[in-house]
């Protein structure tokens, strides 16, 4: 898993570097979407805590993000920071993403409407902040794909809708305060439907 993630991250860096040479427009953007997570729990965690519903804590929750990058007529590369957190039945989790992405554009009808698709690699931080438990966090790798549609409103502003899927290996532990480790949970994958607005300068 780690070898595959490293290879994808390396390929993404090469693509970003190649695109940088022909970049001609800087842009910043905001995104808002819904994140669905696949969280897998250890057998020990299920046994010690009675099979807690940790997969529901940050599943289907709103996620905000900010991004900055450069684009050409053929594609774009950009860095994104995202944050999602919530509580459920006394359990609290937070996920933060720091990602680098590259998209290729395919004009649809006119040059103002484009399909896009690309690759993403970066880091994911998973934090366990549940009441009554010792706080714990882990930073893991992430790699995935995204696709969507982009509409240019004018020379400086565009909006988009997209979908992204990430595989990750972030993991954290749960230990009731004053007691030993109860078990661990892994963020196996993360997907997101989102809307975004971009502003060129």
Answer whether residue 20 shows pLDDT above 70: no
What is residue 155's three-state secondary structure? coil
CB under 8 Å to 109, separation ≥6 — which residues?
A: none
* β-pair partners for 46: none
- Rounded Cα distance between 182 and 63, Å, is 29
> Over 70: is that where the pLDDT of 192 sits?
yes
Number of CB atoms found within 10 A of residue 88's CB? 17
Is the predicted pLDDT of residue 62 greater than 60, yes or no? yes
Band of pLDDT at residue 118, cut at 50, 70 and 90: very high
Portion of the chain with pLDDT greater than 90, in percent: 73
């Amino acid at each position: 898993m780690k070898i595959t993630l490293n290879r994808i991250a390396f390929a993404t860096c090469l693509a970003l570097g190649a695109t940088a040479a022909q970049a001609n427009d800087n842009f910043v953007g905001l995104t808002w979407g819904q994140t669905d997570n696949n969280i897998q729990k250890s057998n020990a965690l299920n046994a010690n805590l009675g099979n807690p519903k940790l997969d529901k804590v940050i599943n289907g929750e709103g996620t905000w993000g900010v991004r900055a990058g450069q684009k050409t007529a053929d594609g774009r590369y950009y860095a994104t920071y995202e944050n999602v957190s919530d509580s459920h039945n006394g359990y609290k989790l937070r996920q933060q993403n720091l990602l680098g992405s590259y998209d290729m554009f395919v004009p649809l009808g006119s040059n103002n409407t484009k399909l896009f698709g690309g690759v993403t690699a970066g880091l994911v931080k998973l934090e366990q902040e549940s009441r009554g438990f010792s706080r714990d966090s882990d930073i893991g790798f992430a790699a995935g794909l995204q696709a969507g549609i982009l509409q240019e409103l004018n020379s400086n502003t565009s909006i988009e809708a997209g979908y992204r899927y990430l595989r990750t290996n972030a993991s954290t532990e749960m230990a009731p305060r004053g007691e030993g480790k109860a078990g661990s949970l892994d963020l196996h994958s993360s997907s997101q439907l989102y809307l975004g607005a971009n502003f060129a300068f």
